[in-house]
Amino acid sequence: MKTFVYIGIIGASALLLASCKGKSKPMETPVPSISVSTPIVRDITLTKEYPGYLSSQLKVDLVARVNGYLRTSYLKAGSRVKKGDLIFVIEPDTYQDNVTQAEASVKTSKAQLEYARSNYERMKEAAKSGAVSQIQVIQAEATVSESEAAVKNAEAELNTARTNLSYCYIRAPFDGAVTRASYDIGNYINGAVQPVTLATLYKDDLMFANFNIEDNQFMKMMLEAARNDSTVKLPTEILVSIGKDGGNAYTGRLDYLSPNIDLSTGTLNVRANLDNPKHVLKSGLYVTITLPYAEQPNAVLVRDASIGTDQLGKYLYIVNDSNVVRYRPIEVGQLVDDTLRQVTAGISPKDSYVTSALLKVRDGITIKPIKLIQKASRREAFLLLVCCCLYKNEMLCRCNIILIEWA
């Protein structure tokens, strides 16, 4: 917390001491001393905020695709796993037997094929001497073809059996964070008909911030850039904020712009990616996207706390050359650096405006404007406050030490 002390002195220190000792004389109501300032003029980047949400780079459901009891689970809920780590095991005994049987079938089929080919060669030689008929040769050739097909079928069944056996061992396809298991050990999993999700794995080293643009500001920039306008630069980075106060902010890089407008919502989908090396960001987290869309040179900025609001909108109290306060409606823009507000209409850079104590002023009153001339420490401010409390109005009226503001 900063302490600002605004001090204006119209008398010497001797006058201060004298005024503190003697009795005050009846005085007319003093003209209030009010702090004032002039607007700051500087170049700013215009931005617009959009609601959005985070999604992980990859999301995969770890599913069971065979039937059987869940025999083993190496899963620790919420833990991180490496690519290839074994997470679940569905009882593999039946599927291992199927592989053994399929391997035996392949061997038998290959032996039968070898015999059929040998018999065919003998038939061809015997046919040359007339020992066998041509029909027997043709039959031997057909047997070879049938044996070849039987080998292919047996090999296909072996591949299927091996694939089903591999489905019993569920591994992580990439590095990431895994959710808790949907089933406990001992549950029967019926995954042959329809895959059953056992857990979900998220790859969250890189996160995506997704949001939709409702207005045409971004599209306008795209069109102007297409005309090779050198003054227009498409934004490449955005600010992703978490929480109401936006205390946690991350820089994201725009990487996707939808090629079409969603007719149901009238919005354009935009995505940005942001690094998440410590895995703090989580998929599904709602965020605020700050998108820069233009540069505003010579923007007029005033203290946001000095802006009042009534039924007509926003206003400032302007102090003219005669130190008379005037009510001035204004139009405001965006907040800058958390404390300043852009004013788009209603005030010029040369105008003086009331910065605080808005409840003490009104249109038409005369004030004594005080500008910031010293920035004191909290200890100095406290001592001055004690002094003011001791001597009350005498000191304030005679010495014009007028305002202590705690911020």
Tell me: the pLDDT tens digits for 234-257?
788 889 998 766 668 899 999 998
* Cα-based angle 59, 262, 233 (whole degrees, multiple of 5): 85
319: number of Cβ within 10 Å = 22
52: number of Cβ within 10 Å = 24
Class of domain 59-202 as given by CATH = mainly beta
Amino acid residing at 366: T
3-state helix, strand, coil in the chain (%, to 5): 30, 40, 30
Sheet strands (E) in 188-347: 188-190, 196-213, 237-242, 248-257, 268-275, 286-303, 308-310, 313-319, 325-329, 331-336, 340-345
What is the share, in percent, of the chain residues with pLDDT greater than 70? Answer: 79
Residue 224 pLDDT: 61
- Reduced to 3 states, what is the DSSP secondary structure of residue 29? coil
Inform me whether the pLDDT recorded for 233 exceeds 90: no
The CA distances from residue 205 to 274, 317, 382, in Å, are 9, 51, 50
Per DSSP bridges, beta strands 325-329 and 313-319 are antiparallel
What is the share, in percent, of the chain residues with pLDDT greater than 90? Answer: 49
Section 56-61 average pLDDT: 94
DSSP element (H, E) containing 142 = helix 134-167
- Reduced to 3 states, what is the DSSP secondary structure of residue 19? helix
Section 19-45 average pLDDT: 74
Section 131-149 average pLDDT: 89
Domain ranges of the chain: 1-31+375-407, 59-202
Q: What is the mean pLDDT of the chain?
A: 82
Residue 262 pLDDT: 84
DSSP element (H, E) containing 120 = helix 93-128
Residue 19 pLDDT: 47
Residue 46 pLDDT: 83
Question: pLDDT confidence of 263, banded at 50, 70, 90?
Answer: confident
Inform me whether the pLDDT recorded for 223 exceeds 50: yes
Residue 99 pLDDT: 96
**CA 330/CA 334 separation, integer angstroms:** 13
Residue 26 pLDDT: 54
Least confident among 42-51, 86-95, 196-205, 371-380 = 371-380
Question: pLDDT confidence of 402, banded at 50, 70, 90?
Answer: very low
Q: What number of residues does the chain have? A: 407
The two structure tokens encoding residue 402: 């007028």
Section 86-104 average pLDDT: 95
